[in-house]
Structure formats: C-alpha cells, structure tokens
Amino acid sequence: MAFDSKKMFSVEGKKCIVTGGAQGLSRGMAEGLLENGAEVVLMDLQAEKLDAVVKEYQEMGYKAYGVAGDLSKKPEIDRMFDEAMKLLGGSLDVMVPAAGIQRRYEPWEFPEDMWRLVIEVNLNHVWFMCQKAIQVMRDKETIGKIINIASMSSYFGGTTVPAYTAAKGAVAQLTKSIASDCADHSICCNAIAPGYMDTEMCANMTQARKDECTARIPAARWGTPDDLKGPLLFLASSASDYLNGAVIPVDGGYLVK
Ligand SMILES: NC(=O)c1ccc[n+]([C@@H]2O[C@H](COP(=O)([O-])OP(=O)(O)OC[C@H]3O[C@@H](n4cnc5c(N)ncnc54)[C@H](O)[C@@H]3O)[C@@H](O)[C@H]2O)c1
C-alpha cells in the first residue's frame, strides 16, 4: 500500500500532555502539536504564565488547556494527571514529560536539597508521568507515544551539573527500559536529546562557556524551541510506529564533532 505521508505524519485530534509548557522547549513542543490539530494539556509551576500562554492559544482557536502545580511532589503529580485526563475525556495518545530544572554548583558544595529537587523534577516526575501514561495507553488499538526529553548530559558529564547529568542519563536508560517492556503493548517510548538550546535554562551560563559551546556546534548556532517541533511531531505520529527506545540527538551536530 502506498505510504500516505499526510495521514502517517498527522497528529490531528491526538490527545496530549506536555509538562513544563509555560515556556521554552516544552512550550515549543506543545505549540507544534497545537498548530497541527492536536489537543494539549500544558502543565507548569508558573500558574500565571501558564494561564496567559493557554489563553493565547485558545484565542487562536487551538484546543489548549492548562493545569498548574508542582511536579516535584507526587501528590501534585497525581492531582495534575487526573485533572488532565478529565480535560482530555479520559484518553491519552501522547505524553511529553519535559519539565526540567538546572542547578549549578561544584560537586564538593552541591546542596543536598538542590540534589533532591533536581532528581524529583528531572527524573522522578518523568517516571511517574511515564507510568501513568502506560497505564492509560496499554493494549489500545492506536499506538501511544511517550516522548522523554534527554540531553547532551545523557552522554557527557558536563561541569558543575552532577544532579542534572545523573537524571538525564537515567532518563535515556528509562526510555529504553519502557520501550523494551511496552513495545508489544501498543506503546512507543523514545527520547529527544536536545543540544544547546536558547532558553531561560541556559541564561545564567557565562558568556565564555556559551562561546565555547557555540564553537563546537557544526550548525554554528544554538537551537530554538522551533527546532524541536519537527522531531516531536514525527515521534508523536504514526510515521514512527516502529521506532522504539531511541534517544535522538537534536543538536545541530554537536555530538558528532
Ligand atoms: N535548554 C537547553 O539547552 C536544554 C538542553 C537539553 C535538554 N533540555 C531539557 O528540555 C526541557 C525544557 O527545558 P527548557 O530549556 O525549556 O527550560 P525552561 O527553564 O525554559 O523551562 C522549564 C519549564 O519547566 C517548568 N518547571 C520547572 N520545575 C517545575 C515543577 N516543579 N513543576 C512544574 N513545572 C516545572 C518551569 O516553570 C518552566 O516553564 C528540560 O527537561 C530540560 O532539561 C534543555
């Protein structure tokens, strides 16, 4: 049968959750889904900002909803997921647990509370959202898509970011573990590993460190939230139904230089 690319790459009508959607890469990915006819619940800690973003999308005619709360806390994750499922009418096609934080300290002075917070947001919330998505998506007719957000720190050690690096390494491995167990239960779990992306997360890097990174990027520029839309839409659509457990760098070639 001929490959109908319009149909295979479509996300029209898909029900999605994107965490961290008030800004940055999560917002860009949510926007890509909305622009292409999906229904999206955006979740974020920044209630006011989230409200404004969702309102803007609703005024554009998109099916966007917001659920505010703190994803570093399990009871909040439970509440937020339940609220999202109500908004989506009880079904879920795409889960993108993309919220994340960065804390930078030398390893000899990394504060314990910061270590725990980074692990809660960058690893534990990802796992709990994956598990909840699996419970809803399992053994359905349409293949459910879980798209985790890894990082260059899934490959490299970086400097002054031990908690972030530990969490992102774990997210890459978690993606493979879920793919192994869920591929024959109608679920694909893949990850995007963004390179250096121009968002608030990197705003406090020193200019010297930023220049050092830019010099190593073959594309000669930092990525933007728009750069993730294409890979995300591919992973969310039926075109990637036989792609499972992959960690895909979207990094302007950084990793291969
Ligand atoms: N910017 C980069 O260079 C880069 C590179 C690789 C991976 N990533 C990853 O991409 C994802 C998005 O990062 P970004 O660069 O857009 O960062 P960002 O700081 O611009 O956005 C992160 C969003 O997550 C939300 N968030 C943080 N803690 C939360 C919590 N406890 N509960 C609910 N929401 C919370 C924030 O409010 C914010 O809106 C993260 O997982 C990050 O690790 C970013």
What tens-digit pLDDT sequence spans the chain (257 residues)?
Answer: 899 999 999 999 999 999 999 999 999 999 999 999 999 999 999 999 999 999 999 999 999 999 999 999 999 999 999 999 999 999 999 999 999 999 999 999 999 999 999 999 999 999 999 999 999 999 999 999 999 999 999 999 999 999 999 999 999 999 999 999 999 999 999 999 999 999 999 988 888 989 999 999 999 999 999 999 999 999 999 999 999 999 999 999 999 99
Q: What's the CA gap between 184 and 143, in Å, rounded?
A: 10
User: Does residue 20's CB lie within 6 angstroms of at least one atom of ligand 1?
Assistant: yes
User: Does residue 197's CB lie within 6 angstroms of at least one atom of ligand 1?
Assistant: yes
Task: Say whether 248 sits in a helix, a strand or coil.
Answer: strand
Q: Hey, which residues does 44 pair with through a beta bridge? A: 68
- For residues 77 and 53, the answer to whether their CB atoms sit within 8 Å is no
Q: Write the single-letter amino acid at 146.
A: I
Give distance in angstroms: CA of 201 to centre of ligand 1. Answer: 7
Residue whose CB lies within 8 A of the most ligand 1 atoms, among 199, 227, 250, for a mutation test? 199
Q: What is the CATH number of domain 5-249?
A: 3.40.50.720
User: Does residue 31's CB lie within 6 angstroms of at least one atom of ligand 1?
Assistant: no
Give distance in angstroms: CA of 24 to centre of ligand 1. Answer: 7
Residue 152 to residues 52, 77, 165, 249, Cα–Cα distance (Å): 31, 26, 9, 8
Q: Whose CA is nearest to atom 12 of ligand 1?
A: 25
Is 164 labeled as catalytic in the residue annotation?
yes
User: Does residue 68's CB lie within 6 angstroms of at least one atom of ligand 1?
Assistant: no
Give distance in angstroms: CA of 5 to centre of ligand 1. Answer: 32
Largest interatomic CA distance in the chain: 60
Angle at Cα 48 formed by Cα 165 and Cα 231, nearest 5°?
A: 45
Sequence-separated (6 or more) residues with CB below 8 Å from residue 231: 192, 248, 250
Q: Smallest Cα–Cα separation from 115: which of 167, 171, 169, 163? A: 163
Give distance in angstroms: CA of 12 to centre of ligand 1. Answer: 26
Give me the numbers of helices (H) and strands (E) for the chain, helices first please. 9, 7
- Residue 114 confidence (pLDDT): 98
Q: Smallest Cα–Cα separation from 30: which of 50, 45, 48, 46? A: 50
Catalytic residue chosen out of the listed positions 62, 65, 155, 164: 164
User: Does residue 194's CB lie within 6 angstroms of at least one atom of ligand 1?
Assistant: yes
Give distance in angstroms: CA of 100 to centre of ligand 1. Answer: 4
User: Does residue 29's CB lie within 6 angstroms of at least one atom of ligand 1?
Assistant: no
Q: What's the CA gap between 30 and 133, in Å, rounded?
A: 17
User: Does residue 118's CB lie within 6 angstroms of at least one atom of ligand 1?
Assistant: no
145: number of Cβ within 10 Å = 27
